Amino acid sequence: MNIRQAPTPALTIDLEIVERNLDRMAARCREHGLGLRPHIKTHKTPEVARMQMDRGAIGLTVAKVGEAEVMAEAGFDDLLLAYPVWGTENLRRLAALAKRKRMLLSLDSAITAHELSRAMAAQDASIGVLVEFDAGLGRCGLEPGPDCVSMAKAVQALPGLRLRGLMTYFGSVWGAEDDRRAEAERVAARLQRALAVFDEARMPLEIVSGGSTPSAPLAASIPGITEIRPGTYVYNDLNTYYQGVCALEDCAARVLTTVVSTAVPGRAIIDAGSKTFSSDPLGSGPKSGHGYVVEAPDAKLIKLNEEHGYLDITGSKHHFRVGDVLTVIPNHVCTCVNMHDEVFPHRGGEAAGSLKVAARGKIR
């Protein structure tokens, strides 16, 4: 069956593009001697994680305990939970995982370290810890400097915790290439400050983990990192495209959708809305619109309701009719994938079954 005959709306995945994207990132990491620990938040799918491991990934990154559980259940080991997990039940589940898998957790507060240690002790488990510093995004992480060493020493003193190194997220490296390049220099300087205090304290760091997809082409210009954690590169999206980090031809995840109404002049309504795309705005390029219509780029997806996408067709040469099948590249593929219980892979347009998004919706 041709994938365009699938019931719509559906999120389709071009496997040839995925393989190319994975091969390219794996080659880049090998070339620069960097470990690749892909973040599974983009695909949330064990079968795709397997493709990443088969290409030499050193382990996986996850954001919540539930994502770690899905990946552990699927047979993966060496999981970095890049999140300062909190809460008795969440930590109990994490300790249960750490009993049977090699786990790493990032954190930035003494109280989180204490609670983590208590949870590990309760199950006689142990976990590796990365101290998180802020490379410039202003989200989580300590200021690079003496606080990082104090935190690392506190971790070393706590039972069940093994200090493994440092972690940060290069989320501030974003935008056009010049902007990304300039920010990568600032990130590199902050990383050097963090490394310097550990050097002074004579505390060697086994792991220094950074990364993101938009920063990946610049990773070699940020010395000191041992591994990167890109996620989006597996599928890519409009955010990646408009930053110049991929071509449209590298966007593997596309929403197949059908025009369901043309009754209102100047409009074509598609059967995909925010429940299909997510409502994440476009954070790069024109910073407007909700997706790129492959068959009619001159039609603008100007608005989403839950089940309706509003195409402004006043400037389009395409003739829109009810029943037309269209293909739309989403703004942000991670949040888009999270809307779907299953995605529909294909190879050169030939449908190849479905893949369960097994780690979808794992908010805890």
Give the residue, chosen from 24, 58, 90, 181, that forms a contact with a second copy under the rule CB under 8 A: 90
Nearer to a second copy, 178 or 264 (CB): 264
Angstrom distance (rounded) from CA 351 to CA 331: 24
Question: What is the contact mask toward a second copy in residues 273 to 312, using x (rule: CB under 8 A)?
Answer: -xxx-xxxx-----------------------xxxx-x--
Instruction: Pick the stretch among 14-22, 68-76, 172-180, 320-328 that binds a second copy (CB under 8 A).
Output: 320-328
User: Which is nearer to a second copy, 29 or 104 (by Cβ)?
Assistant: 104
Q: What single-letter DSSP state applies at residue 209?
A: E
Mark 126-145 with x for binding to a second copy (rule: CB under 8 A) and - for no binding: ------x-x---xxxxxx--
Query: What is the C-alpha separation between 340 and 358, in angstroms, rounded?
Result: 10
Name which of 105 and 216 has its Cβ closer to a second copy. Answer: 105
The contacts of residue 87 (CB under 8 Å, 6+ apart) are none
Q: How far apart are CA 230 and CA 36, in angstroms?
A: 8
Rg of the chain over Cα atoms, rounded to whole angstroms, equals 22
Task: Let me know the angle formed at the C-alpha of 160 by 156 and 165, rounded to the nearest 5 degrees.
Answer: 45
- Residue ranges of alpha helices (H) inside 56-206 are 65-73, 88-100, 110-122, 146-156, 177-200
Nearer to a second copy by C-beta: 221 or 261?
261
Distance CA 214, CA 285 (A): 13
If binding is defined by CB under 8 A, does position 109 make contact with a second copy? Answer: yes
Q: Kindly tell me which residue out of 145, 244, 285, 361 binds a second copy, with binding defined by CB under 8 A.
A: 361
Determine which residue in the list 28, 64, 180, 290 makes contact with a second copy, applying CB under 8 A. 64
Residues 154-173 that bind a second copy (CB under 8 A): 171
Alpha helices in the chain (DSSP H): 15-31, 46-54, 65-73, 88-100, 110-122, 146-156, 177-200, 238-242, 274-277, 333-337
Token pair for 356: 């369960």
Listed residue (81, 195, 61) closest to 135, CA to CA: 195
The answer to the question of residue 363 lying near a second copy (CB under 8 A) is yes
55/318 with CB nearer a second copy = 318
Does 364 bind a second copy (CB under 8 A)? Our answer is yes
Is 327 an interacting residue with respect to a second copy (CB under 8 A)? no
CB 234 within 8 A of CB 38: yes
In the complex, what is the shortest distance from the CB of residue 9 to a second copy, in angstroms, rounded to a whole number?
5
| Residue whose structure tokens are 């802020």 | 134
Structure tokens at 130: 């990365």
The binding track of 238-277 with respect to a second copy, each residue x by CB under 8 A or -, is: --------------------x-xxxxx--x-x-xx-xxx-
Which one, 56 or 145, has the nearer CB to a second copy?
145
Contact positions vs a second copy (CB under 8 A): 7-10, 41, 63-64, 83-90, 108-109, 111-112, 115, 132, 134, 138-143, 171, 258, 260-264, 267, 269, 271-272, 274-276, 278-281, 305-308, 310, 321-323, 334-335, 338-341, 361, 363-364
